Amino acid sequence: MNSYEAWLYKADNDLKSSRKLLDGDDPIMDTAIYHTQQCAEKSLKGYLAFKEQTLQKSHDIELLVELCSAIDIEFETLYVYSEKLTPYATAFRYPDVALEPDYDDVEKAIEMAQIILDFVKVKIC
The span from the CA of 7 to the CA of 97, in Å, is 33
Identify the band that residue 10 occupies on the pLDDT scale cut at 50, 70 and 90. very high
The confidence score (pLDDT) of residue 98 equals 76
- The more confidently predicted of residues 37 and 24 is 37
The pTM of this model reads 0.95
Residue at 18: amino acid letter: S
**pLDDT for position 125:** 84
Structural domains in the chain (count): 1
Q: How far apart (Å, rounded) are the C-alpha atoms in residues 124 and 50?
A: 7
Looking at residue 95, its pLDDT comes to: 81
Q: For the chain, give percent helix, strand, coil, nearest 5.
A: 70, 0, 30
Q: Could you tell me where the DSSP H helices lie in 3-102?
A: 3-22, 29-50, 61-69, 79-85
Give the residue numbers spanning the domain of 10: 3-124
The whole-number pLDDT of residue 83 equals 94
Q: pLDDT tens across 79-111, in order?
A: 999 999 999 998 888 887 778 999 999 999 999
Length of the chain: 125
CATH number at residue 119: 1.20.120.330
Provide, rounded to the nearest whole percent, the portion of the chain with pLDDT above 70: 99
Q: Report the pLDDT averaged over residues 55-71.
A: 95
Cβ within 8 Å of residue 98, ≥6 positions away: 91, 92
Mean pLDDT over 104-120 rounds to 98
Give mean pLDDT, residues 20-47. 97
